[in-house]
Amino acid sequence: MAETKSAKLTIDGQDYELPIHSPTAGPDVIDIRKLYGQAGVFTYDPGFTSTASCDSTITFIDGEKGELLHRGYPIDQLAEKSHYLEVCFLLLYGYLPKAEELEKFESTITRHTMIHEQMYNFFRGFRRDAHPMAVMVGVVGAMAAFYHDSTDIADPRQREIASHRLIAKMPTIAAMAYKYSVGQPFVYPRNDLDYAANFLHMCFAVPAEEYHVDPILARAMDRIFTLHADHEQNASTSTVRLASSSGANPFACIAAGIACLWGPAHGGANQACLEMLKEIGTPDRIPEFIARAKDKNDPFRLMGFGHRVYKNFDPRAKVMKQSADEVLDLLGVENNPILATAKALEEAALADPYFAEKKLFPNVDFYSGIILEAMGFPTSMFTPIFALSRTVGWVSQWKEMLNDPQNKIGRPRQLYLGETERDYVDIENR
């Protein structure tokens, strides 16, 4: 981060010089850290949409160009040529691993997938109809009570162990939350399966018979994990960083991220997409809903189209569409009206000039929702799958923050609009 120039801010006739830092990519940033001390004023930025809260070398997004880079590598190349655990290594360590490094990393993750046996009792304390995200928040936070050898954030070795444990055990926890919700016995992880296939096996296998994981479904699942691995300083990542700024243990920080991701404005986008498809019902009703989407006076919106960050196209959607097509070809859509409606809606929207002009293209949530529905996941599991995918991003950001010499506890300011000082009035005189 190089300081190349400065900005002049004039307040009541007084000039203040503010340094401007230039990143390797993206807009320059004005450094306001000393503004309050010099001028006695704060900046006002609800949602922090114009504020850089940190410097980072992990992920870069250019929404105007539709660009998403992990350590400089385009997401579409990673999704097509790589796989999730290799991307995990890249996010954690900053470079693509050599063959022996990747083999060692994969072996480490594979051999950490089991959870402490006593943690099984936690699940039985929840109601059967508990949302899987509620279960994950509780169980992940409780990991700090079981893994005392990886809670000291000042110890680099313990940070490393905690990182591996979180990446390895999150699929097990998510699968157990699903199994518990449907009343089926838990399925232990298997070391002979890869990361994505192991997750599908833990979700859909039963003790009564053999379960074979189709490689097309495993590849689609791996791409969902890869395409959701990190997304810069979003709400849940910022939550993890803010929690970690206090010195909280890694499991508490990731549990905070899961809680934030649970919100429908963040992690529930693909669930909202499927609920919209259920509302549409059948392909013959698509023209009606497309007309409503074009009507500015109608509150209806096409979920899964367009993106808050990407003003052109979602770079993750192209690869996700390929996997969606492969999954639907494998499983078929004839007996599933939701999937038939999704395919017809995609074709209708892409052929309509209105959506092209507004740049409302299907995004990654549209296609991932279709895939998860086709695989047989209930919509309540969509966000937990997002959470286990994003765990490596949260962990990478957490580690980066702890290594930052500028790290300090987060303390946002406010624009206070309440009452000024007033005296207490005894209750009999009110």
Neighbours of 3 (CB within 10 A): 10
Domains of the chain: residue spans and CATH: 6-52 (2.20.28.60), 72-266+391-403 (1.10.580.10), 268-375 (1.10.230.10)
Task: Determine phi and psi for 8, rounding to 5 degrees.
Answer: -105, 125
- Please say if 307 is a catalytic residue: yes
Question: Distances from the Cα of 307 to the Cαs of 128, 157, 193, 275, in angstroms?
Answer: 34, 39, 34, 18
Neighbours of 187 (CB within 10 A): 19
Separation between Cα atoms, residue 299 and residue 317, nearest integer Å: 25
Question: Distances from the Cα of 164 to the Cαs of 63, 109, 251, in angstroms?
Answer: 31, 6, 12
DSSP letter at 57 equals S
Separation between Cα atoms, residue 146 and residue 167, nearest integer Å: 16
- Please say if 116 is a catalytic residue: no
Question: Distances from the Cα of 210 to the Cαs of 135, 204, 271, 418, in angstroms?
Answer: 28, 10, 30, 64
Amino acid 40: pLDDT: 92
Structure tokens at 326: 């492969």
Amino acid 264: pLDDT: 80
Separation between Cα atoms, residue 76 and residue 68, nearest integer Å: 8
Separation between Cα atoms, residue 414 and residue 395, nearest integer Å: 29
Amino acid 201: pLDDT: 98
Q: Annotated catalytic residue: which of 365, 404, 423, 426?
A: 365
The neighbouring-strand residues paired with 8 are: 17
Instruction: Tell me if residue 98 falls in helix, strand or coil.
Output: coil
Structure tokens at 291: 């007309």
CB 279 within 8 A of CB 182: no
DSSP letter at 185 equals P
Amino acid 2: pLDDT: 55
Neighbours of 372 (CB within 10 A): 23
Amino acid 269: pLDDT: 75
| Tokens 């949602």 -> residue | 47
Structure tokens at 213: 């994981």
CB 78 within 8 A of CB 226: yes
Return per-residue pLDDT of the chain as tens, 430 residues.
555 689 999 999 899 999 999 999 989 999 999 999 999 999 999 989 889 999 999 999 998 888 999 999 999 999 999 999 999 999 999 999 999 999 999 999 999 999 999 999 999 999 999 999 999 999 999 999 999 999 999 999 999 999 999 999 999 999 999 999 999 999 999 999 999 999 999 999 999 999 999 999 999 999 999 999 999 999 999 999 999 999 999 999 999 999 999 988 788 777 888 888 889 988 999 999 999 988 889 988 888 887 777 777 788 888 888 898 899 888 876 667 887 888 888 888 888 888 888 888 888 888 888 899 889 999 999 999 999 999 999 999 999 999 999 888 999 999 999 999 999 999 999 9
Amino acid 421: pLDDT: 96
- Give the neighbor-by-neighbor strand order of the sheet with 14-22: 2-11, 14-22, 29-30
Global model pTM greater than 0.75: yes
Which amino acid belongs to residue 115?
A: I
Q: Annotated catalytic residue: which of 83, 201, 231, 307?
A: 307
Straight-line distance from the first to the last Cα atom of the chain, in angstroms, rounded to the nearest whole number: 57
Amino acid 312: pLDDT: 72
